[in-house]
Chains A and B, each alone.
Chain A
Amino acid sequence: MSPVPLIFGSNIIDSFLAINGLQVVIKNLPYLLEGAVLTLQITTLSVLFGMILGLFGGLFKLAKNPILYAISTAYIDFFRGTPLYVQILLLYFGILPLLLDATPFVAAVIVCSLNCGAYTAEIVRAGIQAVEKGQMEAARSLGMTNRQAMSYVILPQAYKIVIPPLINEFIAVLKDTSLVAVISAEELTLRGKLLYSAYFEAAWIWGAVALVYFIMTKTLSLLGDYVERRMATE
């Protein structure tokens, strides 16, 4: 006779593996992970373009030039003052069709970039303003132009200030990409939806989707902690 605990144990594992929802998740894990890859692609591209938009948005917001100021203010206010969900609908159905033939993926990247850029612009503006006023004056008193002072003196100091909020923003973008499911970009959330309508295992499927998101955001925030610690010791 085999020892009781062993039989007992394998029974539990067997009956656990027999759960329908789990089987669905295991069988469709590659499908979900492909969606996660798409999520990461949208996030990475949006963050990349968002940083460029945000840098100029933030600089223009501080510019003396009234036109640049007005453009950046309108841009930042609109994208921070309306829901991303609505922005996705408006741009994908309302505005982008007039300009180009955008696939859901391209549209998702465009909207998320614009949205991320607006938040990044505010982070950049706050970061620049957090650098002591005397730094700009010292740079200008040596004869630097505004642009030289920005690139050699202010921005190298501002970047340390903006890294932590930027990492938070990247995590927010990653989570927010779930909203592009509405324009049928086949990222993680939409795939979850499609699986759900095929199998109706809500707890297991959405639980798996949530777990995959969590692993991605946790990895990002651990990476962020590491970068912050590196910078602190620099």
Chain B
Amino acid sequence: MIRVIDIHKSFGKLEVLKGINCRIAPREVVCVIGPSGSGKSTLLRCINQLEAVNSGQIFIDEQEITSRHTDINKIRQQVGMVFQLFNLFPHRTTLENITLAPMKIKGIPKDEAEDIANELLRKVGLTDKSSVYPNQLSGGQKQRVAIARALAMQPKVMLFDEPTSALDPEMVGEVLEVMKDLAYEGMTMAVVTHEMGFAREVGHRVLFMDEGIIMEEGTPAQIFDNPHNVRTQSFLSKVL
């Protein structure tokens, strides 16, 4: 579904991604772990072209998104993204946050878009919040709305960039629960996370990134119980 081939990315002189190769199969949940500053966010942002790569290729469903000739807006409709800081639209209600993109981009009629949105709100457990503005939601609620907003475009892949890192501990669970449901429904997902419990339970594969390269990858059991790389070992000993 996603193929990343030898991508490099620098910000000025700082090389953040130093040749990343990875694949994500349909219905696969890949968790990306690693220390802060190792390039995890940058990798996700390259996958939906919020950042342009310096070299290398990224394919989504055999379409090269790093090519100049690709209509990136079309691609992004198929790749949902959930941000650490939610980035809900503060001037729109919960329902409008979810219906905006389907209506404006796909031209879906309002009542139809609202039906979809209400269904998604039910799925993330926020039916009663549909007419509320984001500033009246808790962090966990915001993130669940953000997930619903991304799902409203019916993406083939969902990218999560530390979706629970900005949340109070008691709200982490409700967001992970929604993500877990999504994974069990067969959504293809790439999740950057520090929630090792989630990675172990839900992830099919875990990538350990450090200093702009994927140092080690394997099944959760392999990575967590029997890491080969010293870096992985020392990282895990700090976080587990």
Residues on A close to B: CB < 8 A?
132, 134-135, 137-145, 148, 152-153, 156-157
Query: 16 A-B residue contacts at CB 8 Å?
Result: A132-B87, A138-B83, A138-B88, A139-B89, A139-B101, A140-B73, A141-B50, A141-B80, A142-B80, A143-B153, A144-B105, A148-B104, A153-B100, A157-B89, A157-B90, A157-B91
B94 at the interface (CB under 8 A from A): no
With A and B bound together, what is the CA distance between A140 and B153 in angstroms? 12
Task: Specify which chain A residues have a CB less than 8 angstroms from the CB of B48 in the assembled complex.
Answer: 141
Q: In B156-194, which residues have CB < 8 Å from any A CB? A: none
Known: A142-B76, A143-B77, A156-B91. 9 other contacts (CB 8 A): A134-B87, A135-B89, A138-B83, A141-B79, A141-B150, A143-B73, A143-B105, A144-B101, A148-B104
Q: Enumerate the 6 nearest inter-chain pairs by beta-carbon distance, A residue then B residue, closest first.
A: A143-B77, A138-B87, A134-B87, A141-B81, A142-B101, A143-B76
With A and B bound together, what is the CA distance between A157 and B48 in angstroms? 25
Q: Measured between C-beta atoms, what is the minimum distance from B165 to chain A in Å?
A: 14
Known: A142-B76, A143-B73, A143-B101. A137 touches B83 (CB 8 A): yes
B104 touching A152 by the CB < 8 A rule? yes
A137 touching B87 by the CB < 8 A rule? yes
Known: A142-B101, A143-B101. A137 touches B76 (CB 8 A): no
Task: Specify which chain A residues have a CB less than 8 angstroms from the CB of B50 in the assembled complex.
Answer: 137, 140-141
With A and B bound together, what is the CA distance between A1 and B87 in angstroms? 83
Partner of A135, one of B73, B80, B87, B101: B87
Q: In B71-107, which residues have CB < 8 Å from any A CB? A: 73-77, 79-81, 83, 85, 87-91, 100-101, 104-105
Q: Measured between C-beta atoms, what is the minimum distance from B83 to chain A in Å?
A: 6
With A and B bound together, what is the CA distance between A156 and B81 in angstroms? 22
Q: Measured between C-beta atoms, what is the minimum distance from B158 to chain A in Å?
A: 11
B74 touching A143 by the CB < 8 A rule? yes
Tell me the dominant secondary structure on chain A's binding face.
Answer: helix
With A and B bound together, what is the CA distance between A94 and B37 in angstroms? 58
Task: Specify which chain B residues have a CB less than 8 angstroms from the CB of A143 in the assembled complex.
Answer: 73-77, 101, 105, 153
With A and B bound together, what is the CA distance between A148 and B89 in angstroms? 14
Q: Measured between C-beta atoms, what is the minimum distance from B163 to chain A in Å?
A: 13
With A and B bound together, what is the CA distance between A134 and B91 in angstroms? 14
Closest to B84 in A: A134
Closest to B45 in A: A137
Known: A137-B50, A138-B89, A152-B104. A144 touches B73 (CB 8 A): yes
With A and B bound together, what is the CA distance between A137 and B81 in angstroms? 9
Known: A134-B83, A137-B83, A152-B104. A142 touches B89 (CB 8 A): no
The contact string, 1 if C-beta is below 8 Å from chain A, for chain B 125-145, is 000000000000000000000
With A and B bound together, what is the CA distance between A134 and B86 in angstroms? 8
Closest to A141 in B: B81
Task: Specify which chain B residues have a CB less than 8 angstroms from the CB of A145 in the assembled complex.
Answer: 73
**Which of A142, A148, A157 has the most chain B CB atoms closer than 10 A to its own CB?**
A142
Task: Specify which chain B residues have a CB less than 8 angstroms from the CB of A137 in the assembled complex.
Answer: 50, 81, 83, 87
Q: Measured between C-beta atoms, what is the minimum distance from A153 to chain B in Å?
A: 6
B105 touching A148 by the CB < 8 A rule? yes
With A and B bound together, what is the CA distance between A155 and B74 in angstroms? 23
With A and B bound together, what is the CA distance between A132 and B101 in angstroms? 19
A142 touching B91 by the CB < 8 A rule? no
Q: Measured between C-beta atoms, what is the minimum distance from A219 to chain B in Å?
A: 29
Closest to A153 in B: B89
Closest to B50 in A: A137
Closest to B76 in A: A143
Task: Specify which chain A residues have a CB less than 8 angstroms from the CB of B85 in the assembled complex.
Answer: 134
Task: Specify which chain B residues have a CB less than 8 angstroms from the CB of A132 in the assembled complex.
Answer: 87
Known: A134-B87, A135-B89. A140 touches B76 (CB 8 A): yes
With A and B bound together, what is the CA distance between A139 and B73 in angstroms? 10
With A and B bound together, what is the CA distance between A134 and B90 in angstroms? 12
Task: Specify which chain B residues have a CB less than 8 angstroms from the CB of A144 in the assembled complex.
Answer: 73, 101, 104-105
With A and B bound together, what is the CA distance between A145 and B106 in angstroms? 12
